[in-house]
Amino acid sequence: MAQILAPTAQWQMSFSKNSTNASTLTSKMWSSLVLKRKGTHKSSAKFRVLTVKAENSTVNRLEDLLKLDVSPITDKIIAEYIWVGGSGIDLRSKSRTISKPVEHPSELPKWNYDGSSTGQAPGEDSEVILYPQALFKDPFRGGNNILVICDTYTPAGEPIPTNKRHRAAQIFGNQKVINEVPWFGIEQEYTLLQTNVKWPLGWPAGGYPGPQGPYYCGVGAEKSFGRDISDAHYKACLYAGINISGTNGEVMPGQWEYQVGPSVGIEAGDHIWISRYILERITEQAGVVLTLDPKPIEGDWNGAGCHTNYSTKTMREDGGFEVIKKAILNLSLRHREHISAYGEGNERRLTGKHETASIDTFSWGVANRGCSIRVGRDTEKNGKGYLEDRRPASNMDPYVVTSLLAETTILWEPTLEAEALAAQKLALKV
Ligand code: ADP
Ligand code: MN
Ligand code: MN
Ligand code: MN
């Protein structure tokens, strides 16, 4: 960002339209431009200092207002109500004023929106009702302003079909599940694309970078693309109160990962959704396109997943490895059901290559990244710990995946016959 002297609004408009490279203009050049223009005042008092955004040449003097602290003037805050839209993966949000700072979602009013504009209701009966469910600090507006995760209902109080949180909250509200204190650590992978061309960040236009190898956790101009976005997101998540536990550059250039957790129960889904919202907002500001497609580029490139690390209380206690094996057995018997709930287009990613297991077969192993379920060396050694479900795609719904894991491993029971057969197939003794 370069600071320059500039005159009136018209001048800023014409400057931004005509200039191809604003960052190379100095304040001296500006004054000479200004002086040549007929009818402009020469007095510098008429000019205001403003900022020029170097990347797209747009003149922006709104920054001071965006940072304005309104708290000495009013108690009122801005709440950004956020919900999942009709595709099940798109996020929507709108803002409203709340009379004073709040600490719990129950202090917030329900609200509504036009569901016919989000693919969630017919035009003739378009109202969808937002129920506030979880609060986060707003890293964009700062102060006492908040981000609010909502779920969605008909006016009669029925959850609409894309409201996956409702069912998940029921499962996590089951006493048997509560007693097991389910933990989730979710590894959210994502890919950054250049605007308009839909080609990954850092890739030559219409061409390919060198093969995978140097990029994973890589540093340097030829190996790492989009670090500022990853880092801005990391801090914004910490500020918001998200249980973010780390981040790393991924195997494909332009691809990144962050981890959220361990979080308990429904919180895991809320934290992933809000972290995705923050990522959409940051990439929006940066003029970069975020995609959660599980295989954004065909060929010898790793796809994008959402590995879900999972444990229950009994898995974390002595003898837990036996409980983990029983959970793996249950998971094997419901493989198809899990796959169908683990994200759109996942068949393009789960090919059996590129650190994935084939979508058609269930497998597990210690330290094996080519399996559906991986158990870490530490877990095997300690005889307790957690498992990693490597099947979920980057565009999975965390409410669906976490609650299904809890349901299959805590609430569901196979028949003795099915269990015996599966144990034989997986070479598991349970
Ligand atoms: P990977 O080695 O597969 O890349 P990461 O380090 O990226 O794994 O992510 C592991 C995630 O698992 C982290 O979010 C971590 O907090 C979480 N995790 C650690 N222990 C447990 C546990 N007992 N149960 C569930 N999640 C856990
Ligand atoms: Mn990881
Ligand atoms: Mn990864
Ligand atoms: Mn992993």
Residue whose CA is at the smallest distance from ligand 1 atom 10 = 185
CA 252 – CA 216 distance, rounded (Å): 7
Tell me what percent of the chain is helix, strand and coil, each rounded to the nearest 5.
35, 25, 45
Q: What's residue 121's pLDDT?
A: 86
Choice from 237, 251, 259, 321 to test ligand 1 binding pocket (greatest atom count within 8 A of CB): 259
Ligand 1 contact, 368 CB (< 6 A): no
Residue 203: how many other CB atoms lie within 10 Å: 18
pLDDT higher than threshold 90 for residue 125? no
**Would you state the structure tokens that stand for residue 293, as one six-digit string?**
């497609």
What's the mean pLDDT in 81-109? 97
User: Pocket of ligand 1, candidates 251, 307, 309: which has the most ligand atoms within 8 Å of its Cβ, to mutate?
Assistant: 309
Indicate whether residue 310 lines ligand 1 (CB < 6 A).
yes
Whether residue 4 has pLDDT greater than 70: no
The pLDDT tens digits for 404-414 are 999 999 999 99
Average pLDDT over residues 33-40: 36
d(CA 218, CA 410): 39
Tokens linked to 196? 């308009």
In this structure, which residues have their CB less than 5 angstroms from ion ligand 2? 187
| Cis amide leading into 132 (omega within 30) | no
d(CA 423, CA 430): 7
- Which of the four pLDDT bands, split at 50, 70 and 90, describes residue 355? confident
The 8-class DSSP code of residue 89 comes to: S
Among 20, 27, 24, 19, CA closest to 3: 27
Average pLDDT, the chain: 88
Q: Is the distance from CB of 241 to CB of 272 less than 8 angstroms?
A: no
Residue nearest (by alpha carbon) to ligand 1 atom 18: 185
Number of H helices, E strands in the chain: 13, 16
Cα 262 to averaged position of ligand 1 atoms, centre (Å): 7
If you measure from the C-alpha of residue 297 to the centroid of ligand 2, how many angstroms do you get, rounded to a whole number? Answer: 20
Atom nearest to 259 CA in ligand 1: 14
Q: What 3-state DSSP class applies to 353?
A: coil
Ligand 1 atom closest to the Cα of residue 257 is 7
> Ligand 1 center to residue 268 CA distance, Å?
13
Residue with tokens 């999975």: 396
Band (143; pLDDT cuts 50, 70, 90): very high
- Nearest one of 15, 51, 81, 424 to 273, comparing CA atoms: 81
Lowest mean pLDDT among 27-31, 210-214, 403-407: 27-31
Going from the Cα of 250 to the center of ligand 3, the distance in angstroms, rounded, reads 6
pTM: 0.87
Closest residue CA from atom 17 of ligand 1: 185
Whether residue 395 contacts residue 89, with contact meaning beta carbons closer than 8 Å, is answered with yes
Alpha-carbon gap, residue 422 to 405, rounded angstroms: 18
Ligand 3 centroid – CA 327 distance (Å): 23
Domains observed in the chain: 2-66 (no CATH), 77-162 (3.10.20.70), 175-426 (3.30.590.10)
Whether residue 53 contacts residue 66, with contact meaning beta carbons closer than 8 Å, is answered with no
Instruction: Check pocket membership of 256 for ligand 1, CB cut-off 6 A.
Output: no
Q: Is the pLDDT confidence value at 5 over 70?
A: no
